[in-house]
Chains A and B, each alone.
Chain A
Amino acid sequence: MVNGKRVDGRGVEDVRPMKIVARVLNDAEGSAYIEWGKNKILAGVYGPRECIPRHDQSLYRAVVKCRYNMAPFSGAEEHGRSGPNRRSKELSKVIKEAFENVIISENFPKTEISIFVEVLQSDGGTRCAAVTAAAVALADAGIPMKDLIGAVAVCKIDGQMAVDPGKEEDNFGESDMPIAFSPRTGEVLLFQMDGNLSREELSRGLELAKNASAKIREVQMEAIKKVYDEPKEDRFLLIG
């Protein structure tokens, strides 16, 4: 931190630039692509469809499944072979649990709703970007939800709380805390913390994250509206 500016020139309350395009995949029922800072993430949603394996089925609700995966070329250090590992299993689980709170799954007994998240390029805060993109993909698929959720991380750098840490701030900062909100009710749906924070720092962090999540919701809504403002028969990514 130099003169209140962070390593990439942002202030403590500034979120990195974010762009979302909804409905980018032809065969997934819903999809979204997000560029958040240097993160590039693609999310696709299938379902409700028949739940396989059948022992996962519930007679009362749809089962929410999530697969978060990092491409082998996504980071500065090579991630090796992609596929389930300790990290991606953890993130799949927390993302799934965040969405279980908002998806109205009682409407679709015996089915599954699958969320697939592919991280193409990572630069800190991929789980938050994944939640943000997956929420747009779910809305695009028309799956009933109680809210359009978003997530953002807060961190502590040089003793100050700041929102949306990039990779450097995440790696060398003192603490990192990703949070997902339901903007309608203010409920916290995902909450993790690395490092230590005092009570005051934590409540300051929550406040920062809450302010940021309002901005994130704007971007999400814009992406969904754009699908209907400029209807296309073929779905594709607009490069540039």
Chain B
Amino acid sequence: MDKSRIVMPGEMVAERPERIGYAFVDKGKTYSTVVGLYSEGKLVPLEGPYEPLPDDMIVGIVSEVRFSGYSVDTNSAYAAFLSSREIRERYEMGDTIFARIIKTDETRSIELSDAKKLPEGRLVRVSAVKIPRIIGKKNSMVDMIRANTGCEIVAGRNGYVWIIGTGDSNLAEKAIRMIEAQAHTHGLTDRVAAYLKSQKKA
């Protein structure tokens, strides 16, 4: 982690052709395509659009109710579809759901399953590449925010974060914004913990 460096689009990451995500090979050398952190054969983008993958858990908003199911807004260029056959609940337009992607095809249309309606709350839109940091190792970050604010946090892989507002949801949102801005730095968990603690007393 310490040896990682920030690379720019078009910057060489390896002298020989290698298969690295977010990189491409030209004339036997490997170059980055994004602004990212590179270390030992791994390139992590620092910013980027959400690319749907099967088994991702996402937060979506029902945008259309149709005879056979629901269209769901997913914070990406691609609309998702949730078939009525997959679910027992009924939704209305504007409901927020937490669901699993079961299938995407080459034109990136998304099919959803295992949906669950989320109770009333607040939506925070963050960059999708920062979601792993918001969740933390073994949910550590989300658990910490919950413990300090009394808010349940549902973080979708697509960059939508749903704060279920029973506690101090303002503070929870601020913490999430802080994580988003500093996602590439070290020792973030401690800083967020200190921040939450200082805000809680006040």
Contacts and interface: CB of A to CB of B under 8 A. Distances in A.
A91 interface: no
Interface of B: 6, 8-10, 22, 24, 26, 31, 33-35, 45-49, 51, 76-79, 106-108, 127, 129, 174, 177-178, 180-182, 184-185
A145 B47 contact: no
A109 B107 CA distance: 6
Nearest to B183: A231
A122 interface: no
Nearest to A183: B10
A146 B108 contact: no
A142 B177 contact: no
Interface centre among A104, A107, A221, A228 (most CB of B within 10 A): A228
A44 B26 CA distance: 29
A104 B8 contact: no
B110 to A, nearest CB: 12
A30 B77 contact: no
A139 B77 contact: no
Interface stretch (A47-55, A73-81, A152-160, A208-216): A47-55
Interface string A172-205: 0000000000111100000000000000000000
A147 interface: yes
Given A142-B34, A142-B48, A233 B177 contact: yes
A233 B182 CA distance: 8
B10 A146 contact: yes
